[in-house]
Structure 1
């Protein structure tokens, strides 16, 4: 039995109420769910809370999964929607952490700075650039920030993003294009402000 078939068998068992099967599914995906929530909030506690809420939603709605898409895509859609719902509840912007933004996948948040070949000067420059990117991402609308995270940070394909956000591939591409254009404008504006401040 291939991995895909084994996963489907677990899903079907979980849909019948078998908790051990559900727990195996959660163990398989909990890190990926946490990392995706981590990218949305850039805070470990928030990511943990969102992950727990996602697990509850998955448990409550697993019978609605009809195998028309990948189970991982279905999970990611729930994670993104849960994260967006929470962000909308918060009037103040979520505090960002440069280290947390650098957690691009399965590794630790500090891996970007463990390259011993970098000089202290290079490390400072990298830290400043990433800190600047965090600030720029913070200024994007939720839908633009989300799509930049999914495509440019997490590396999802247009097809995967289309399924996660429940929109057409054309919408994904146009939304991403607008988000990148806005990022560029914000970047240039930030540089202009920095120069103005410097010459005062």
Structure 2
């Protein structure tokens, strides 16, 4: 029982070394840079290629960040609108995905501020997030119906706890745990140091452990 509880109330710390960005750009990064150069020179159709490579993963990041698929779809579309509007400002020396997630993360912060000003609307629009959960709580082999229900309840508790984190803790945690981005890249996205990212992720995990240890008592 302890193992299942541990999985439910603590996010595993992934190795930062395994996530370190390579000094050599990947083929995908180089293609992104080429496409952005073409977009800036007037070849608007390449925006579709960029969206094809990045839209699905970006949408999942936004769903996890916002806990609302409708908001996530809106912001995914708005993110690519901003990419097009600012195509001439893209710095080809940097990764396109870093720039893309910086735009999306700024929109997430704006949406949370809007929700704070319109709590009734936010409550009415809330829906369950889909996709993978922060913690894969299902037993590995032949779960019983009770185990399946308990696992779903634990996963839902984790989602709620993550959604309740302040954005300065929630966003770096999601970028680290789900998007598997290095502290250095998250720092570029959020415009802070890698050390600040490390501290924020640590604080997020500590807060989740406290919150979930209380919630798990009722499950």
Task: Provide TM-score, normalisation by structure 2.
Answer: 0.74
What is the deviation of 1:38? 1.3
Q: Which residue of 84, 101, 108 corresponds with 1:76?
A: 101
- Indicate conservation of the 8 Å contact 1:15/1:62, yes or no: yes
- Indicate conservation of the 8 Å contact 1:162/1:169, yes or no: yes
Q: Which residue of 135, 154, 174 corresponds with 1:129?
A: 154
2:209: which partner in 1? 184
With over 3 angstroms needed to count, the CA separation of the structure-2 counterparts of 1:101 and 1:141, relative to structure 1, is farther
- Indicate conservation of the 8 Å contact 2:59/2:73, yes or no: yes
Provide the alpha-carbon RMSD of the alignment: 2.6
Does residue 102 of the first structure (1) align with residue 102 of the second (2)? no
With over 3 angstroms needed to count, the CA separation of the structure-2 counterparts of 1:7 and 1:126, relative to structure 1, is same
1:7: which partner in 2? 32
With over 3 angstroms needed to count, the CA separation of the structure-2 counterparts of 1:70 and 1:183, relative to structure 1, is same
- Indicate conservation of the 8 Å contact 1:58/1:75, yes or no: yes
Structure 2: distance between partners of 1:6 and 1:68: 13
- Report runs of 4+ in structure 1 exceeding 4 Å deviation: none
The runs of 5 or more residues in structure 2 that have no matched partner are: 1-26
What is the deviation of 1:154? 3.0
Give per-residue Cα distances to partners, 1:68-104, cap 9 Å, x unaligned. 311111111111111111111112366352x526367
With over 3 angstroms needed to count, the CA separation of the structure-2 counterparts of 1:6 and 1:138, relative to structure 1, is closer
Does residue 153 of the first structure (1) align with residue 187 of the second (2)? no
SS in 2 for 1:100: coil
With over 3 angstroms needed to count, the CA separation of the structure-2 counterparts of 1:6 and 1:144, relative to structure 1, is closer
Task: Provide TM-score, normalisation by structure 1.
Answer: 0.80
Does residue 16 of the first structure (1) align with residue 41 of the second (2)? yes
Give per-residue Cα distances to partners, 1:97-128, cap 9 Å, x unaligned. 2x526367xxxxxx987x88322122112101
- Indicate conservation of the 8 Å contact 1:137/1:145, yes or no: yes
Does residue 143 of the first structure (1) align with residue 173 of the second (2)? no
The runs of 5 or more residues in structure 1 that have no matched partner are: 105-110, 196-200
Q: Which residue of 98, 101, 115 corresponds with 1:90?
A: 115
Give per-residue Cα distances to partners, 1:45-86, cap 9 Å, x unaligned. 111101111111111001111113111111111111111111
